[in-house]
A and B are shown apart, each in its own frame.
Chain A
């Protein structure tokens, strides 16, 4: 699923690169270290140039997370806190070893042990969601668990749309986007495209420029002979294997089709020699699908609760020679239909879940995006309480005004198919297949 939160992937150049600007603190999970943990977060933010409200969010969220960890872990357990500066946002990663615990407590809905008189609602991990812009809980390769919280830098200066109508062009050159050109580009996009048809960060020229500088956003600009930017395309990594394209855009949008095609080809040529296996795009209702992209499906959502369809398109970068996927019988019909429609050669291994040797509890990871009012759930462990856990999560999300609830199921991991009955029982419906986006293809469900 497309995510703005790239835990484990360095967006600067793709997977496997060292992050050069992490600073970290290792402490024991004891309440006496709580002020140290909170001030570490605040000081790291200040050192990286974050200010007032951002520092307050960093400090408060660090305090809440650390207090939560102290309740869960024994006093001799180590917690590592890493601060990662991406210029336009700061990520705090809390790394800890939950081996001695019931994994159930990692659910965002779980309550930590509490003292008499404390409000149960405020003790869950979920309280942190209110304090930061994004939260993600994942398992690391080294066996530790990582709870990551993200605080975005606040940008006040909004992009001013450039007035005046650029002339259609016959020739252009394509050059990489940089801090300066992206700001001019943002102004052109805002002048020519309605909100919702371009990424929200282009509303803030400083944010777009910082994302380029951080390497989390790549782009190319089409420049006319006169030197004017007459189009552009942006893209970013959304997982180890997937790139999302944003655009292409033309100014005016009526420029010859060859211009957006050249921009798209430029991006595809860049992607050709990367580990990416595919390109994703999101299109708002009414926007035609990009040429050369297969329509995967769509999700519904929107701030008013009204359905606002968002279509997902996909373009493979490699020859797909076929593979086997694990399939629950209840999902077989959907998968066969979609694989046939997309001409994807897949051998469906229908696995009715045996139910033996399963953990006692279900663990779900939740990735929240407050800006999009969206939550993406994934299964970390399957247990007999899967439907109950899903209901509990849905209840909490409803209270937090998170309206788009998605669940991503990996068809390359056999035990995950066991989630299917619980998903269907709790009102989730399969929306689309994302080819090759997990260990195998993944299916995105949405709570209807």
Chain B
């Protein structure tokens, strides 16, 4: 078989993502009896109680049946929660699937997407392995730069991806800034507002894409159940947009990709997750307060804004620090691959584990050459 001829160049050049090894394997290789994952921004509290109950009571016989192909009941619950029509929602197997659907719906070869150079990497990846161009605007003061993004838009730009709050820097655009940007885009392309971490934002000036999309029909909002709702293992993300836009995206979307248990647990989380959100916010608030103080004492630069994570600049190689912390059972995310060399991103979790992390970090920095 002549793979050289069969495979498009943009696939040949794409580097496949290497997924993390299972915890047991990592513990064996690094020789650590316990492993704390501070790398994926998972919710340490897990799912809301109502979703836990659904998971606990899931009838095994249902595994033999196909799920609702379009997540019917979950879309009804989301529509009720946000005051929209169910057809404005499209539920996918995690945000990665809805990112792919949007890109495929609007872009063909020769088109491009615009986003920041240092943000959630999947926007770039999907464009890259779909043969779609990427035009990147550098971050400004660690945040999305509206002027820079507008400067990248050309006649072939179909989508602008905004990550708000930004992963990994935690910066966010307040309501007014987002309005100004959308006005200047003026409907020339689809604007995707990825609000994966929006539920963590407690600031009064926070923007809310759910509200703005009535005024801007080119606005599409992404949300997820993987973060504050603690359902990352079930892989459920969704997008919301104006009916004609969502109708187009649905054409590029494969149905039946969200499993029955995930749909049911997500529905329970939407309907009964209010207290859980408050509890998670309280935990993150306390964790960030602890980290701010501890990192300041260590004298390392850090970014502690919105979201459930903190970015730290370290005076040694981030990949070396990763290996050393792994030996201590602490798994952080290196940022070299995000174009932030020698930064790490740490998920905010409970106090006990954060204390272990700070202690480990301090000792490693002390012994660093």
Chain B interface extent, by class: 20 to 34
Which chain B residue lies CB-closest to A344? B323
Which residues does chain A contribute within 8 Å of B342, judged by CB atoms? 265, 268, 292
Which residues does chain B contribute within 8 Å of A321, judged by CB atoms? 20-21, 26, 29
A345 to B28, CA, bound (A): 9
**Contact status A268-B336, CB under 8 Å:** yes
A392 to B150, CA, bound (A): 66
> In this assembly, does B316 line the interface, its C-beta being within 8 Å of a C-beta of chain A?
yes
**Shortest Cβ distance from residue B216 to the other chain A in the assembled complex, whole angstroms:** 31
> In this assembly, does B72 line the interface, its C-beta being within 8 Å of a C-beta of chain A?
no
> In this assembly, does A269 line the interface, its C-beta being within 8 Å of a C-beta of chain B?
yes
Interface centre among B315, B326, B338 (most CB of A within 10 A): B326
> In this assembly, does A293 line the interface, its C-beta being within 8 Å of a C-beta of chain B?
yes
A322 to B322, CA, bound (A): 12
**Contact status A345-B319, CB under 8 Å:** no
**CB within 8 Å for A319 and B341 given contacts A294-B320, A343-B320, A343-B327:** no
**Contact status A320-B341, CB under 8 Å:** no
Partner of B341, one of A268, A294, A347: A268
**Shortest Cβ distance from residue A274 to the other chain B in the assembled complex, whole angstroms:** 8
**CB within 8 Å for A345 and B341 given contacts A16-B12, A320-B319:** no
Partner of A269, one of B21, B316, B324, B341: B341
> In this assembly, does A399 line the interface, its C-beta being within 8 Å of a C-beta of chain B?
no
**Shortest Cβ distance from residue A291 to the other chain B in the assembled complex, whole angstroms:** 8
A291 to B317, CA, bound (A): 8
Q: Mark A311-324, 1 if CB is under 8 A from B, else 0.
A: 00001111111100
Which residues does chain B contribute within 8 Å of A273, judged by CB atoms? 124, 337, 339
**Contact status B319-A16, CB under 8 Å:** no
**Contact status A319-B322, CB under 8 Å:** yes
Which residues does chain B contribute within 8 Å of A23, judged by CB atoms? none
Which chain A residue lies CB-closest to B335? A272
A294 to B319, CA, bound (A): 11
Q: Mark A323-348, 1 if CB is under 8 A from B, else 0.
A: 00000000000000000000111110
**Shortest Cβ distance from residue B113 to the other chain A in the assembled complex, whole angstroms:** 15
**Contact status A343-B317, CB under 8 Å:** no
Which chain B residue lies CB-closest to A14? B13
**Shortest Cβ distance from residue B252 to the other chain A in the assembled complex, whole angstroms:** 26
**Shortest Cβ distance from residue A22 to the other chain B in the assembled complex, whole angstroms:** 15
Which residues does chain B contribute within 8 Å of A293, judged by CB atoms? 317
**Contact status A343-B21, CB under 8 Å:** no
**With contacts defined as CB atoms under 8 Å apart, how many contacts are there between chain A and chain B in the complex?**
74
**Shortest Cβ distance from residue A332 to the other chain B in the assembled complex, whole angstroms:** 17
**Contact status B339-A345, CB under 8 Å:** no
**Shortest Cβ distance from residue A265 to the other chain B in the assembled complex, whole angstroms:** 5
Which residues does chain A contribute within 8 Å of B339, judged by CB atoms? 269, 272-273
> In this assembly, does A275 line the interface, its C-beta being within 8 Å of a C-beta of chain B?
yes
**Contact status A292-B317, CB under 8 Å:** yes
**Contact status B317-A275, CB under 8 Å:** no
Which chain A residue lies CB-closest to B324? A343
> In this assembly, does B57 line the interface, its C-beta being within 8 Å of a C-beta of chain A?
no
**Shortest Cβ distance from residue A259 to the other chain B in the assembled complex, whole angstroms:** 16
> In this assembly, does B334 line the interface, its C-beta being within 8 Å of a C-beta of chain A?
yes
Which chain B residue lies CB-closest to A18? B9
**Contact status B29-A272, CB under 8 Å:** no
Q: Mark A286-297, 1 if CB is under 8 A from B, else 0.
A: 000101111000
> In this assembly, does B109 line the interface, its C-beta being within 8 Å of a C-beta of chain A?
no
- Main DSSP-derived SS at the A contact region: loop
> In this assembly, does B253 line the interface, its C-beta being within 8 Å of a C-beta of chain A?
no
Which chain B residue lies CB-closest to A17? B13
Within 8 A of A (CB), among B93-147: 124
> In this assembly, does B296 line the interface, its C-beta being within 8 Å of a C-beta of chain A?
no
Q: Mark B1-32, 1 if CB is under 8 A from A, else 0.
A: 00000000100110100101100011001110
**Contact status A320-B337, CB under 8 Å:** no
Which residues does chain B contribute within 8 Å of A344, judged by CB atoms? 323
**Shortest Cβ distance from residue B213 to the other chain A in the assembled complex, whole angstroms:** 32
**Shortest Cβ distance from residue A324 to the other chain B in the assembled complex, whole angstroms:** 9
**Contact status A320-B322, CB under 8 Å:** yes
A240 to B319, CA, bound (A): 20
**Shortest Cβ distance from residue A342 to the other chain B in the assembled complex, whole angstroms:** 8
Within 8 A of B (CB), among A153-191: none
Which residues does chain B contribute within 8 Å of A322, judged by CB atoms? 21, 25-26, 29-30
Q: Mark B288-320, 1 if CB is under 8 A from A, else 0.
A: 000000000000000000000000000111011
Within 8 A of B (CB), among A392-413: none
A372 to B319, CA, bound (A): 32
**CB within 8 Å for A347 and B29 given contacts A265-B341, A272-B339, A321-B21:** yes
A293 to B369, CA, bound (A): 10
A316 to B326, CA, bound (A): 15
Q: Mark B139-170, 1 if CB is under 8 A from A, else 0.
A: 00000000000000000000000000000000
Which residues does chain B contribute within 8 Å of A343, judged by CB atoms? 320, 323-324, 327
Interface centre among A289, A315, A347 (most CB of B within 10 A): A315
**CB within 8 Å for A315 and B323 given contacts A272-B336, A272-B341, A322-B30:** no
Which residues does chain B contribute within 8 Å of A347, judged by CB atoms? 29
Partner of B30, one of A265, A315, A317, A345: A345
Which chain B residue lies CB-closest to A345? B29
A272 to B317, CA, bound (A): 14
A325 to B337, CA, bound (A): 25
**Shortest Cβ distance from residue A81 to the other chain B in the assembled complex, whole angstroms:** 21
Which residues does chain B contribute within 8 Å of A269, judged by CB atoms? 339, 341
A320 to B315, CA, bound (A): 19
Which chain A residue lies CB-closest to B118? A269
**Contact status A315-B20, CB under 8 Å:** no
Which residues does chain A contribute within 8 Å of B317, judged by CB atoms? 292-294, 315-316
List, sorted by A's number, 7 A–B pairs whose CB atoms are closer than 8 Å.
Answer: A17-B13, A273-B339, A292-B316, A315-B317, A318-B337, A320-B322, A345-B31
14 additional contacts (CB under 8 A) given A272-B338, A289-B369: A16-B13, A268-B341, A268-B342, A272-B336, A273-B337, A315-B317, A315-B319, A315-B320, A318-B18, A321-B21, A321-B26, A322-B30, A343-B323, A344-B323
The 8 A-B residue pairs with the shortest CB-CB distance in the complex, in nearest-first order: A322-B29, A268-B341, A316-B319, A292-B317, A345-B29, A269-B339, A343-B323, A272-B339
